[in-house]
């Protein structure tokens, strides 16, 4: 048993931390207000290989494992949650399914631009009437000659407004229920594909969250990902993997909040002394640190299971990590605001942003409730 990061993971952590503290920190509060997509930093990160962390070198990636992905996402999210989400989506929601289920031609065509950020990735599952209930989706794709004709609307799509490559799910055969869902790789300039409403979010505000509208969109036949009917499997498999880095986002955001809270408690005085002298503050800090530590171990363990292929289905571990870490992050950032008192409720301090950023973690890529169902299903098999 070994809890140490490997040499390359330690170096990755050091470089990503240094990059985040230097390049991301100045922009993070600004893009939270403006919602501006951080293209400059995304391009810089692509040069370092952070957009294709888990992609093999032959497709332009960095060829690291999933624990490393978690370490990187954690370091990015510690400074800027929006950037953490953008990078995570490109890696695990888009590059991963193409890598796992794509043909050699698809990999060669789509992975290099995803790694270089020439084209950013986004994934379309959620619809206005289909969130956690994936099978309730209404989008359809009909094969006509050499094209699938896709109709439907995808909502709340991270990176949606800025992406160039989309992995989108739709029914090719509604009668087969979830077994009739298929996955497609769709390019931004596909005829019949337009962007809809840009969402104003509570947190992770610079993630170009946007609606995707398909009206008789013509998708070349060869852009089917996997086989017809593989969509649900691809979707679930991808979400399992992405739970590792949602967990990592939670750990990173919380770590950032804890560090802010510790610093503030050692500067702020009340009743004639530093608030860090008060046991209730100390108690909160101790709880926060312990919660973060527990979540980090769960996240790393889920990554480890994925890397080692043990156990064969790591769904439960990934779900546990995501569920625990998301709840943890909301609680830890809430405590951070609490330690700041009234000032924590103002835009002057980062904890206000971190609290808002954390809330999404309990909602997207499976709500906490869905995760409990996934975990329980594994327990009761």
Partner 1 sequence: MDIIVCIKRVPQTAEAKVEIESSGKDIVKDRLTFDMNESDMYALEEAVLLKEKFGGTIIAISLSCSDAEDTLRIALAKGADTAIRIKAEDFDELDGYKTAQLLSAVIKDIHFDVIFTGCIATDDAYSQIGATLAELLGIPHATLLTNIEVIDSISHVHRELEGGLQEHIEISIPALFTIQTGINVPRYASLIAIRRAAGKEIKLVGQNEISKDQLLLNTQIEELFIPPVAKQVKIITGSPGEVSKELAGIIREKGLI
Partner 2 sequence: MSEIFMLIEHRQDAIRDISYEMMTCGRALAEKLNTKLTAVFLGYDADKLVESIRDQAHRIMVVNNEVFKEFNAESYQIALAEIIKKENPLLTLIGHTAFGMDLCPALGTQLGIPFTTDCLDVEIIDGKLIATRQMYDGKLNAKIRFRKNPSYLVSLRTGCFPVRDSNIESEIVNIESPISAEPDYRKFVEYIEAAISDVDITKADVVVGVGRGIKKKENLALIEDFASTIGGVVACSRPIVDAEWLPKDRQVGSSGKTVKPKLYIALGISGAFQHVVGMKNSGTIIAINKDQNAPIFNEADYGIVDDLFRVLPTFKNSIIEMKSK
- Please pick, from the candidates 10, 197, 313, 347, the single residue that binds partner 1 as defined by CB under 8 A: 10
Q: Minimal distance in Å, beta carbon 313 to partner 1?
A: 28
The tokens describing 45, both together, are 């990160």
Contact pick of 5, 13, 17, 25 for partner 2 (by CB under 8 A): 25
Cβ closer to partner 2: 27 or 88?
A: 27
Would you give the DSSP letter of residue 199?
P
Catalytic residue among 104, 138, 365, 369: 365
Q: Which does 25 bind (CB under 5 to 8 A by kind): partner 1, partner 2, none?
A: partner 2
String marking each residue 120-139 x if it binds partner 2 according to CB under 8 A: --------------------
Member of 32, 38, 41, 64 binding partner 1 (CB under 8 A)? 64
Q: Is 365 noted as a catalytic residue in this protein?
A: yes
Query: Is 313 a binder of partner 1 (CB under 8 A)?
Result: no
Is residue 43 involved in binding partner 1 (CB under 8 A)?
Answer: no
Residues 218-257: x where in contact with partner 2 by CB under 8 A, - otherwise, as a string: ----------------------------------------
Q: Which CB sits closer to partner 1, 50 or 81?
A: 50
Query: Site residues for partner 2, window 340-359 (CB under 8 A)?
Result: 348
40 binds partner 2 (CB under 8 A): no
List the catalytic residues.
365
Binding site for partner 2 (CB under 8 A): 25-27, 30, 267, 348
């Amino acid at each position: 048993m070994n809890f140490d990061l490997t040499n390359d993971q330690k170096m990755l952590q050091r470089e990503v931390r240094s990059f985040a503290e230097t390049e991301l920190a100045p922009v993070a509060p600004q893009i939270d207000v403006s919602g501006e997509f951080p293209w400059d930093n995304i391009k810089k990160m692509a040069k370092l290989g952070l957009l294709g962390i888990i992609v093999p070198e032959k497709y332009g990636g960095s060829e690291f494992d999933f624990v490393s992905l978690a370490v990187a996402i954690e370091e990015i999210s510690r400074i800027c949650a929006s950037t953490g989400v953008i990078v995570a989506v490109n890696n695990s929601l888009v590059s991963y399914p193409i890598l796992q289920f794509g043909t050699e031609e698809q990999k060669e065509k789509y992975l290099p631009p995803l790694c270089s950020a020439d084209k950013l990735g986004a994934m379309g599952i959620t619809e206005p009437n289909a969130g956690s209930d994936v099978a309730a989706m209404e989008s359809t794709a009909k094969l006509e000659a050499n094209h699938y004709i896709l109709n439907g609307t995808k909502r709340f799509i991270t990176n949606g407004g800025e992406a160039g490559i989309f992995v989108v799910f739709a029914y090719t055969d509604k009668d087969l229920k979830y077994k009739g869902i298929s996955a497609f790789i769709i390019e931004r300039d596909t005829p019949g594909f337009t962007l809809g409403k840009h969402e104003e979010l509570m947190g992770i505000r610079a993630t170009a969250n946007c609606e995707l509208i398909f009206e008789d969109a013509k998708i070349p036949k060869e852009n089917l990902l996997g086989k017809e009917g593989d969509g649900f499997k691809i979707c679930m498999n991808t979400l399992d993997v992405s739970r590792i880095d949602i967990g990592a986002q939670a750990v990173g955001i919380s770590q950032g909040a804890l560090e802010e809270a510790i610093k503030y408690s050692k500067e702020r005085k009340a009743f004639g002394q530093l608030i860090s002298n008060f046991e209730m503050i100390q108690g909160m800090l101790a709880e926060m640190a312990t919660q973060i530590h527990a979540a980090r171990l769960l996240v790393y363990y889920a990554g480890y299971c994925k890397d080692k292929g043990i156990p064969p289905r790591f769904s439960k571990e990934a779900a546990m990590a995501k569920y625990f870490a998301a709840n943890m992050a909301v609680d830890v950032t809430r405590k951070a605001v609490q330690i700041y008192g009234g000032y924590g409720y103002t835009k002057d301090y980062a904890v206000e942003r971190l609290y808002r950023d954390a809330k999404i973690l309990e909602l997207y890529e499976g709500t906490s409730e869905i995760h409990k169902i996934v975990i329980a299903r594994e327990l009761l098999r």
